[in-house]
Structure 1
Amino acid sequence: MGYGVRETRPTGVTLAKQKPARSSAALKHTVPAAELRWRCDPKSIAAHRERPNDENDLIGQARALDALRLGLTLESPGYNIFVCGSSGTGKMSTVRALLANRPSRQRALNDYAYVHNFSDPDRPSLLRMPAGEAKRFRKELEKVVHDLPDIVSRVLDSEQVERRRERLAESYKQLEREAIGEFETTCSRRGFQIAQVQVGEMQQLEIYPLHRKKPVDIDELRELAATGKARVPNIEEIVTAHEGLEAELRAILLHLRKEARRMHGEIRTLESDAVTAALRDTFADVVEQYPYDGISRWFDGVTTAIIDNLDAFEDQEEGENGRERQGHLDDLVRRLGINIVLDNEGATGTPVVFENFPSFTNLLGTVERPTDDTRGTVDFTHIKAGSLLRADGGFLVLNANDAASEAGVWRFMCRVLKTRELEIQSPEQAMAPGQSSALKPESIRVDVKVIAVGDDELFRLLYSNTDEFRRVFKIKADFDDEMPRDDRHIGLYAHHAWRVQREESLVPVSDEALGRLVEHGIRLADRQDRLSARFSDLTDVLREAAHYARVSGADLVLAGHIDKALAERRRRHGLAEEKLHELIRCGLVDIATDGEEIGAINALTVLDMADHAFGQPCRVTASVAPGTDGVISIEREVELSGRLHDKGTMILVAWMRARYMPDQPMCLSAAVTFEQLHDELDGDSASAAEALALLSALAGVPIPQGIAITGAIDQRGNIHAIGGLNEKVEGFYRLCVFRGLTGRQGVILPHDNRRNLQLEPEVVDAVASGWFHIWSVQHLDEAIELLTGAPAGAPDAAGRFKAASFNGRVCTRLAELAILADPQSRRAEPKPTRSKRAATHVHDE
């Protein structure tokens, strides 16, 4: 249909031979073609080419910018920022631009690392040191750990330690020789002898009585005496003496074992003292280089752990014992490592972290499960930091809606911001805090300012239901989706387009094309005095227009390229619109655009397919008969209407009752419906059409089918503004173009909606040439006169209408229906009911 092409009349359409004369009512309410579309003078664009632009005001969001600047500079607790507003209004790009030129928070950057807690292994210890120190500390520590076996071995094998160890061992051996020697003398005096006997892999002392000067086992001697094989007259005395000596030997061996333990303890103390002194000398150099909180204390734990595992540093044996000792040594070396969770080496200025995937783990960190550790142990090496820690001392920017998609993220993030303490834990542990075996790393004191970019709905949800959210997100930067249409903001549009053209190396843009882009911004804003702030949509149109210009070989993006980009967008997204309009065009959906009919009118609706909204004409019909059922909305009855539509229908009936039958019950059985509409509908913008269809059926006056109407009525009959105006008008215009313009077709719209008009140029041209019409009205009476050409009629002092007027005919018909409903005027009141139908129908009692 050639959208955007200026013609003296529409092309490619069927026209009547002669345009009909206009009535006085039509002329009175006609909207001039000049008001149907605001046009941008290219000269106003050219004037801005020589003017500098303040990049900070690029998007024209003064309120949001002031809020962001306050939040970025105010350092008091809780002044984190929630940026909300419609998609495409430049929220994230504005945040990026402000952070790029932000004032420094002047926070000293730190490195953070976790080490094994030797006193409580389930609670790893935190080490904090200035930026860049963690890696250097780790390298120094790796050297020390590598040298530990040699250091320990040198100490244990030193001549001084070995000499003192031998003295202690010799002292014990001397004590052992003396004790056993004395006991051996005692045994000899009593006729006994001691000997070492092999028992398994051990040797032990045994006491034997002497028989015929030879040692004999006591049990064997007792058996010889009992069987008479040997003459042992004092066997009982020998047995008693043997038992006494055994008791004496046990006491001696017990004393020797105590002395051996004492000796080994002294040797271990000797070795421990020597190793401890050597380790302190070794660690002192490291502590002196890194005098930060926790490092000296941690090295004390390291020393204790080495002392407790000195056996692991001894020369390895072959076999099972050797493998076990090596395992202990490997475990000890692993516990002497360091896990750097935040390394700020080389970082300068204030950190700014953009978290693109704000999951629980990515934001708050986690304790990872081991993947290659066959023992399945979880320790300090499995702790992983998140972006909240990486942004410590600076700013963290995230998508609020993405963060809300995972349970617990917002709750735990707000808790960190409130307490300023970050406890790294796995999501499973956070959701089930009673796990006794879970690792509990030492918490980290953090200072981070969060900027969450989301939408209004999420902000309201969090603000209404989360007390912690209100405490920590005290700044709301609310982005408007529109701005005033004045010279300054038109200049912002132009400078934005020029900046995109430079940054993306697009084809240069002409002033006429920019003017057309401004006109499209008005269309998106849905008001002639406003411009859309959805810069992402506008930028996409500019990119596509530049593409068509480049493909065509043009040196400039012209207005026609903008028109083509918009037309192609409509075509790409307009399959559903095309299918629905095809149903109307082929007659499967019956909508007339010519002739007259009683009780029928064309209403205008909008179908929003998320990516594309378009107008759909719809035939509204009404039927009237005697009865007391009231006015029935068929859509309401079959549950195809929403609450707003039902409200509009009820307002319509209330208006009729108050205007036409204020002193007596209004008795009729009427039905109003949207013909061939099988989807659910909502909104009250068709209540004026429903009212006119019903009044036409009552008055018996036909309505011209070439005129459609949109508008919502109140209980005084006033017609109020509605949404989707441009799409509704254009939808009906396209149908009329297909059927053939007669010069009698047009749309009636609310007077308050005139400022919302930004119609396609083709529609404007059709109106300018008189082949299509746009009228605006403020009251139903004006619409009645415009549609019927007859006076609507005004009530006299008694509230009565002239019988010849339209409203008089309505009153006459209502009186007739009342008589037909009950000729004897004995109408019984309907019984109360709680059914939906009773709530829907309006009765006068």
Structure 2
Amino acid sequence: MSIKELSYKELKNYCSDECTQFNTTEDLKPLEGIIGQDRATKAIDFGLNIRKKGYNIFVSGISGTGRSSYIQLITDKKAEEKPASRDWVYVYNFKNPDKPLAIDLDAGNGKKFAKAVENTIVFIKKEMENTFTSKEYERKKGMIVKELNEESESIMQELNELAKEYGFTYTNTDRGLISVPLKEDGTPMKEEDFRNMEKEVYEEIQSKSNELNLASIDLFKKLRDIQDKFREKVKELDTNEANKIVKLHIDKIKKAFKNEKVKKYLKEVQRDIVDNVDMFKSDDNKNNQNPFLAFQKKSSENFFERYQINLFIDNSDKSNAPVVYETNPTYNNLLGNIEYENEMGVLKTNFTKIKPGSLHAANGGYLIMNVRDILENIYTWKGMMRSLQNDEIKIESMQSMMGYPVTSALKPEAIPLDIKVILIGDPRTYSTLYSYDEQFSKLFKIRADFDIEMDRTKDNVMKMQSFIATHCEKENLRHFTREAVCKVVEHSSRIADSQKKLSSRFNQIVEILYEADAWAEQDGSDRVQLKHIEKTIQEKIYRNNMYEEKTLEYFEDEIYLLDVQGEKVGEINGLAVVGAGEYSFGKPSKIT
């Protein structure tokens, strides 16, 4: 193998013919997409298009290679091709209050449904109050009362006739009907008569009272039957009146929202209102007499909470599928939670306190997260993986996940999950999860690996030019001259440590653009020129190469000694690459 001596010009790949002819980046078209990541972009495109279970995406690569920017760009485009996700509401479960029901509606209909139910309950309550205080209702109820009184008077007459046989009469009191002994002149005894009564007489009266109680059992039973009949008739009257009002309003909602779950729920609402018609009647009189008005009012408010609608997910302002970038994926932020409120020292909750997480918000679309953020809490990771495995989102407290006893008995109905999760991380994290989490390989079958370098082809150089032009427009930077752009391309090869490559670590390129623009501003120039790029690179090196200068000073001061002439057996001189943050240099070293 022959060794060729290189000239100083061959130590650097100058950018000359590769750059197209232009004056400034203002003449170039903005870049669409990403540069030099064909392998990753094809994997992402395939992963986003396949709709089978388990084809979620893990984007691996070193920070600064454009992973996050490209994912945001491509998912936004894909989301525009899909319709808006469905709205979700939680409603009261009349059969099992501890298990709120989830109902899905077309995008935008959730808010309309909640408003419709809220207005309907207000209208029903108002009409109920008017109906049950109307003259017509009082007339119908009066007829029932009249019929009751006629039957009751007949039985009361029989009771008094029976009582006279035993020397008693019946009187109505606050405690109901009571028997009172009669004097010899036929008038009821008073309290003074009892006090002056002899013991033998009292015992005789007591004996006759017991005999009367036995003899009047059947008549009292008839009286109770009449009272029960009265209550049933009044209840029937109230039910009929309530049904007329409720059916009219509920049918309007049914026609507006043709959804089987909605119809089933509204049927339960109608039944519950009729069963609790007394809560809808005007209770002004009761309130005025009640010394605990505040407590009664609170109790009434708590009752009507059951008719509220928890607008859980509202997509009324969206025209396409959601894209959610969750930067803080805690357990509650990701999977939702149930909130509490302090009521007189007691923590209470209900179905209106159920709050969504990012999985709910991104349902039907795309959820993007950094894998390191979610791995900070193992229960968050387990919760997400369980949701993906079961294709549903189940809201439960973290305490129950950890096996601790919980105070909440609410168990909201799980919501079906249709989502594409995209995790952004590094190759090492991917390998660790693939090796130690058996579910990971089943649920994240697509890996998109971003490279740190790309071939220095004419096409990629042109894309790099457009990349610079795009950032000038996007970040309001001064436009770059052709010579400045060429210098950035040359520096990109230096970052990649190869004359035939360009760096894909675009964050380092962007830093050059920002700092060069700052130097151009200090120079009073309206364009970023070659000298500004050179100044940027020199200043960047100067800020970070103090350790290199100190090392070289040690050689100059002969603190570090290194033989560069002659020969020695088992010894060779070399360069050790020393990294000091973003800057690295070659330190002369003796190798033995």
Normalised to the residue count of structure 2, the TM-score between the two structures is: 0.87
Cα deviation code 1:472-496 (max 9, x no counterpart): 2221111111112333323332232
Q: 1:490 matched to which residue of 2?
A: 461
CA distance in 2, matches of 1:48, 1:472: 48
Q: How far 1:276 sits from its partner (Å)?
A: 2.2
CA contact 2:79–2:320 (8 Å) conserved in 1? no
Alignment of 1:237-636 (within 5 A): 240-249=207-216, 252-312=219-279, 313-316=281-284, 317=286, 318=288, 319-320=290-291, 325-370=296-341, 376-432=347-403, 435=406, 437-554=408-525, 556-578=527-549, 589-592=559-562, 604-618=575-589
Going from structure 1 to structure 2, the CA distance change for 1:147 and 1:361 (only over 3 Å counts) comes to same
> Secondary structure of 1:210's match?
coil
Going from structure 1 to structure 2, the CA distance change for 1:131 and 1:101 (only over 3 Å counts) comes to closer
Greater Cα shift, 261-270 or 51-60: 51-60
Going from structure 1 to structure 2, the CA distance change for 1:581 and 1:41 (only over 3 Å counts) comes to closer
CA distance in 1, matches of 2:119, 2:341: 26
Within the candidate set 154, 157, 161, 1:181 is matched to: 157
Q: How far 1:91 sits from its partner (Å)?
A: 1.0
Going from structure 1 to structure 2, the CA distance change for 1:151 and 1:486 (only over 3 Å counts) comes to same
CA distance in 2, matches of 1:250, 1:258: 12
> Secondary structure of 2:19's match?
helix
> Secondary structure of 1:131's match?
coil
CA contact 1:83–1:477 (8 Å) conserved in 2? yes
> Secondary structure of 1:608's match?
strand
> Secondary structure of 2:367's match?
strand
Cα deviation code 1:442-497 (max 9, x no counterpart): 22223222222221122222222223322222211111111123333233322322
Say how many residue pairs are matched: 584
Q: 2:171 matched to which residue of 1?
A: 196
Q: Which has the higher contact order (CA 8 A, sep 6+)?
A: 2
CA distance in 1, matches of 2:306, 2:295: 17
CA distance in 1, matches of 2:106, 2:525: 58
Going from structure 1 to structure 2, the CA distance change for 1:482 and 1:276 (only over 3 Å counts) comes to same
> Secondary structure of 1:531's match?
strand
CA distance in 1, matches of 2:494, 2:343: 60
Amino acid corresponding to residue 99 of structure 2 in structure 1: R
CA distance in 2, matches of 1:56, 1:68: 16
Cα deviation code 1:350-397 (max 9, x no counterpart): 332333333333332222233689753211211222232222332222
CA distance in 2, matches of 1:322, 1:541: 71
CA distance in 1, matches of 2:296, 2:147: 29
CA distance in 2, matches of 1:399, 1:132: 30
Cα deviation code 1:292-323 (max 9, x no counterpart): 23222222222333234333324331224755
Q: Which runs of 5+ in 2 are unaligned?
A: none
Q: 1:136 matched to which residue of 2?
A: 112
Amino acid corresponding to residue 233 of structure 2 in structure 1: E
CA contact 2:324–2:366 (8 Å) conserved in 1? yes
CA contact 2:15–2:487 (8 Å) conserved in 1? no
Normalised to the residue count of structure 1, the TM-score between the two structures is: 0.62
Q: 1:765 matched to which residue of 2?
A: none
CA distance in 1, matches of 2:373, 2:556: 44
Going from structure 1 to structure 2, the CA distance change for 1:511 and 1:221 (only over 3 Å counts) comes to closer
CA contact 1:368–1:426 (8 Å) conserved in 2? no
Which structure dedicates a bigger proportion of its chain to helix?
2
Amino acid corresponding to residue 362 of structure 2 in structure 1: A
CA contact 1:114–1:380 (8 Å) conserved in 2? yes
Q: 1:92 matched to which residue of 2?
A: 68
Going from structure 1 to structure 2, the CA distance change for 1:197 and 1:102 (only over 3 Å counts) comes to closer
Q: 1:210 matched to which residue of 2?
A: 183
Going from structure 1 to structure 2, the CA distance change for 1:94 and 1:161 (only over 3 Å counts) comes to same
Q: Which runs of 5+ in 1 are unaligned?
A: 1-27, 621-688, 691-845
Amino acid corresponding to residue 207 of structure 1 in structure 2: V
Q: 2:85 matched to which residue of 1?
A: 109
CA contact 1:208–1:218 (8 Å) conserved in 2? no
Pair member with larger Rg: 1
Amino acid corresponding to residue 116 of structure 1 in structure 2: Y
Q: How far 1:512 sits from its partner (Å)?
A: 3.4
Amino acid corresponding to residue 467 of structure 1 in structure 2: E
Going from structure 1 to structure 2, the CA distance change for 1:564 and 1:223 (only over 3 Å counts) comes to same
Q: How far 1:409 sits from its partner (Å)?
A: 2.5
Cα deviation code 1:158-187 (max 9, x no counterpart): 555434433333333333322232222233
CA distance in 2, matches of 1:202, 1:182: 21
> Secondary structure of 2:520's match?
helix
What is the alpha-carbon root mean square deviation over aligned residues? Answer: 3.5
Q: 1:741 matched to which residue of 2?
A: none
Q: How far 1:62 sits from its partner (Å)?
A: 0.9
